[in-house]
Structure 1
């Protein structure tokens, strides 16, 4: 999870970010997810339906139940794009649209597992992707634009007693101190559309098993072969790991993991991004188009029609 900013007013008062993120019965066995091993292809719009006899704003209900109001999605601001429309080769593993995040539930505002960004950031990632592909690597994004309602959910979660995902995401941290320790706050640069959480994959990307709610959890600080399934390179911790080992330049990170962190940083800084030093995965566009605005439109393809 990328950094989040304190302050309840919409204009940015501070420029510090913090963390970016069901009791369901487990499935019989984990499956292999094509979603996280290859970029999703754009979906086409459904064909238009014939004129309806239902009142405007309602959908017919084939089972005879009362129809529900049609969902209305506000359009995205002009400078926002879907990453796949700029570079479909970048893998999208959008954690907050799934239960595999530190809250253990899909997060409000993520209607689809889709990366949305400001156009300048998407184009910068495209340039970095071109560099990295020549070295046998590619980018994989975990979180992009984050609606303010998602940040509000993180704030509410931080004060409840739910610790179902503690063993994986904050094994050695006290949940009650996540705000004080800087992992969470009340405003996120992600809500301005010019922050991204991402990693590297070796090409061709390997398959990745789906996360199954209720499966046994392992600490994000464990060796890579013991952590949750992720087809990325080793960065010494998993994504969204609330531990000082996630600090980009932590001296305990050596060998291949150090090289991987440096490779990611070199590629991204060369195209105009800067790293947040407390999270190896979090980068900000240095020249963002909306430096003082926080948005709340949902992550939904309908926002781009």
Structure 2
């Protein structure tokens, strides 16, 4: 007597799981897009992955900046730096944290396309919408000559950062005497236009940054470059995203 071959049936739960995977699994193109969006050049990191409690307010991502609009190359409110710079900044954050203070970052790596956007803005005399807030005592046509706008930026090398100090409990910025990116003599580190308390706050920031390997810029109290930057002659243009 011949018996027919027994047919094996998959459990219902396994069938449902297989169907779910087929329907909802990302396509190859979606996976490739994810890799592109999340990848950084070798040697670069998202700073918040190194310093999780870092406060970020990337000004060129939004409209609160001297141009009054998002800047080319900024698609996310996240700071990027070289791994070396982020590691040094982590030590700064740790030292400040022991005093109930921390860092707030305004800009890190800056694509060269953003610098080109600054230049186009500087060459447009009709666009004065942010003059009262950022350069009230200066003529826009003089910003390039005075050094506030330049054809190249150390930020594009990935180891320069703009930042301030905050109180961790309230996230309130210490009073530095002038806001970030204000074009004028009051932004100079040792400006006689600021109070003793404001200078004390600037000195606090400068001292801890210098201690951990950063070089200050006298014209801007908020600007620091890693002394031993890994790419001193390379200007990058990948997007902040």
User: Same fold, TM exceeding 0.5?
Assistant: yes
Once residues 73 and 186 of structure 1 are traced to their aligned partners in structure 2, the CA distance between those partners, rounded to angstroms, is 28
Map 1:12-161; keep pairs closer than 5 Å.
49-50=24-25, 73=37, 75-160=39-124, 161=126
Q: Deviations over 1:168-224 (max 9, x none)?
A: 011111000000001001100000000000000012134xxxxxxxxxxxxxxxxxx
Structure 2: segments with no counterpart, 5+ residues? 1-22
SS of the residue corresponding to residue 168 of structure 1 reads helix
Once residues 155 and 195 of structure 2 are traced to their aligned partners in structure 1, the CA distance between those partners, rounded to angstroms, is 29
Aligned residue pairs: how many? 215
Map 1:169-184; keep pairs closer than 5 Å.
169-184=134-149
Once residues 189 and 171 of structure 1 are traced to their aligned partners in structure 2, the CA distance between those partners, rounded to angstroms, is 26
Q: Deviations over 1:30-61 (max 9, x none)?
A: xxxxxxxxxxxxxxxxxx95366xxx869xxx
Structure 1: segments with no counterpart, 5+ residues? 1-47, 59-69, 207-230, 301-305
Choose between structure 1 and 2: higher helix proportion: 2
Give the deviation of 1:90 after TM superposition: 1.4
Moved over 6 A (4+): none
SS of the residue corresponding to residue 53 of structure 2 reads coil
Is the Cα contact below 8 Å between 1:144 and 1:193 reproduced in 2?
yes
Structure with larger RCO (C-alpha < 8 A, sep 6+): 1
CA-based RMSD of the aligned residues comes to 1.9
* Counterpart position of 1:282: 223
* Counterpart position of 2:12: none
Once residues 90 and 143 of structure 1 are traced to their aligned partners in structure 2, the CA distance between those partners, rounded to angstroms, is 12
SS of the residue corresponding to residue 102 of structure 2 reads strand
Cα 1:94–1:254 shift into 2, 3 Å: same
Map 1:265-280; keep pairs closer than 5 Å.
265-280=206-221
Once residues 51 and 235 of structure 2 are traced to their aligned partners in structure 1, the CA distance between those partners, rounded to angstroms, is 25
**Based on CA coordinates, which of the two structures has the bigger radius of gyration?**
2
- TM-score relative to the length of structure 1: 0.67
Once residues 257 and 180 of structure 1 are traced to their aligned partners in structure 2, the CA distance between those partners, rounded to angstroms, is 28
Give the deviation of 1:252 after TM superposition: 2.5
Cα 1:244–1:51 shift into 2, 3 Å: closer
Matched, 1:291 2:232: yes
Once residues 116 and 172 of structure 1 are traced to their aligned partners in structure 2, the CA distance between those partners, rounded to angstroms, is 33
- TM-score relative to the length of structure 2: 0.85
